[in-house]
Homo-oligomer: A and B are copies of this chain.
Amino acid sequence: MVKRVSLDHSSCPVARSLDVIGDWWSLLIIRDALEGVQRFTAFQSSLGIAKGMLASRLRTLVERGIFEQRPASDGSAYREYVLTAKGQALHIVVAALRQWGETQLYGPTERHSSLVDTLDREPVAPLTLRASNGRSLEWSDTRVIKVDAARY
């Protein structure tokens, strides 16, 4: 991760989130875990990532409470990496990245994977901002209120 400043103490939640998971590989590892990958070798073959790089990313993600390590469910000597509740809550971020990619980055004839409702295999609806009463909001209907002038 190439960083110039740590945003660990930022009062902006976007900045603080990026400080924790704003790394290309970390988000792909989390995506794989959300799709059921649990073993080191499975992440490795799915991502085509160097062993050392995967190990360091997983170690950091465990330290940050995104993953926990546990013995393999089949009783073998392997250890598995399982998303914590904190890690699983990132499914909305991953789904938002997916939907933006689907609508903005694919040509009409290009195929892509899809996130579907298990029940009827229909694609999940586009994520939308909503007011506290459920009213649908455009970005222009919202604003960000800062804590103070110091921010990133």
Q: Could you list which residues of chain A lie within 8 angstroms of chain B, going by C-beta atoms?
A: 1-5, 11-18, 20, 22-24, 27-28, 31, 34-35, 46-50, 53, 86, 88-106, 110-125, 127-132, 134-135, 137, 139, 141-147, 151-152
Contact = CB atoms under 8 A, between A and B. Distances in A.
Contact of A144 (B49, B100, B115): B115
Q: Would you call the interface of chain A mostly helix, strand, loop, or mixed?
A: mixed
Number of this chain's copies in the complex = 2
Given A115-B142, A145-B116, A99 B28 contact: no
Contact of A111 (B11, B35, B94, B131): B11
Contact of A129 (B127, B132, B134, B151): B127
A97 B141 contact: no
